[in-house]
Structure 1
């Protein structure tokens, strides 16, 4: 009798988990299209890797969008994030900053966060830079499917943040979007668990 009772309970738990995963995936997918860009103190461009001074295609699209926000008057400064990757001589943020300078952004309007290796560190360290410069508001720039997690983190760290995903993401086809979505869902749920146990 006990086994007969346990099975429906386990089945119910599995169904609830599947529903939760489906709802979470849909919410991440839907949030990807949210663009709240407006006038802000700065834009935080989340890192996405470099190799020997070469900017990854994904990071390049994020940098381009940050530069566009600056050139179109949404922000007066850009905060590039990302530490020194394995085998690199310079930080991802430094490489991004140099690229932005080459595109016409004045060096004095660029701030670098050069210690982080993950999104949470990007956000936490960028917040310190904001505090040092008296900034309160920031546009968060990343790939569309990354935005829900990034925005949750930004608000957790006390940033009045606005979402502005890259309009030219490298993740275009379903073949590239689905794995990215699955990865994002995993890390999004992981971060929510982390929040519950105390950060």
Structure 2
């Protein structure tokens, strides 16, 4: 596995990842969201000369209604179902590798269990973990399950789904790995599958269950975040066919990483 000290520092990506998870943590705390929205509704009416008070108050009311709707069980069910409806089914065919995406400490046990079972049933000879702050830990957990070290590889550099796909392609495709079993949670799978497919992988999705202790509010915003991610990736053309580049892991552009691991960036309910 690539040494994490050889991971290139990408300040823009790192800042955006940190900011997005901090925003996620704020949105998953109603006590921090609802009071400001109520103020937006009420305050304009205290200023009678304010020309746009009806519109400002109406905007606040619309945002509050949308927020409460996003938290509702029915929207969570509908949103979650839509993200997995169009995923291709698993026909049970062997693959070249099992690729496990990092998603924080709380998600690791389920990913490791699913991936270990796939390897034990000889679905693929190689387990490949991808993700900064996750890859090495996943590899260690797999070894503790009795899987030999020479069947485990990975990259601990990627901080986004886009980098998961690009760095994995840069390492595995030169080794003639093209058909992969992709392991991640259900909300994250559609965006991951489309991104990996755009870089030339033949992808069979294999979802792991979400942690049992994850509350409904956090599940709702994981789903909501994925819809935003799908829209953003679509606008950036990240689902269109493209060629992977080995330059993604060019040792000449490398400096040590010194930032906070992603386990400490996620909302408390996600981090466990």
Task: Give 4+ residue runs of structure 1 displaced > 2 Å after superposition.
Answer: 24-27, 29-32, 171-177
Q: What's the CA shift for 1:31? A: 4.2
Is this contact kept in 2: 1:31–1:147, CA < 8 A?
no
Q: Which structure ranks higher in relative contact order (CA pairs < 8 Å, sequence separation ≥ 6)?
A: 2
Q: Does 1:159 align with 2:201?
A: yes
Distance in 2 (CA, whole Å) between partners of 1:130 and 1:114 is 14
Q: Deviations over 1:39-83 (max 9, x none)?
A: 10001100113xxxxxx1212211221111101111111000112
Distance in 2 (CA, whole Å) between partners of 1:173 and 1:30 is 23
* Contiguous gaps of at least 5 residues in structure 2: 1-74, 243-272
* RMSD over aligned Cα atoms: 2.7
Q: Does 1:120 align with 2:162?
A: yes
Q: What's the CA shift for 1:113? A: 1.0
Is this contact kept in 2: 1:38–1:162, CA < 8 A?
no
Q: Does 1:67 align with 2:109?
A: no
Pick aligned residue for 1:80 from 105, 118, 129: 129
Alignment-derived partner of residue 211 in structure 2? 170
Distance in 2 (CA, whole Å) between partners of 1:136 and 1:35 is 18
TM-score by length of 1: 0.73
Distance in 1 (CA, whole Å) between partners of 2:107 and 2:182 is 15
Alignment-derived partner of residue 83 in structure 2? 28
Distance in 2 (CA, whole Å) between partners of 1:154 and 1:27 is 20
* Contiguous gaps of at least 5 residues in structure 1: 1-21, 50-55, 84-90
How many residue pairs get aligned? The number is 163
Distance in 2 (CA, whole Å) between partners of 1:43 and 1:129 is 14
TM-score by length of 2: 0.54
Distance in 1 (CA, whole Å) between partners of 2:215 and 2:94 is 31
Q: What's the CA shift for 1:35? A: 4.3
Distance in 2 (CA, whole Å) between partners of 1:35 and 1:47 is 22
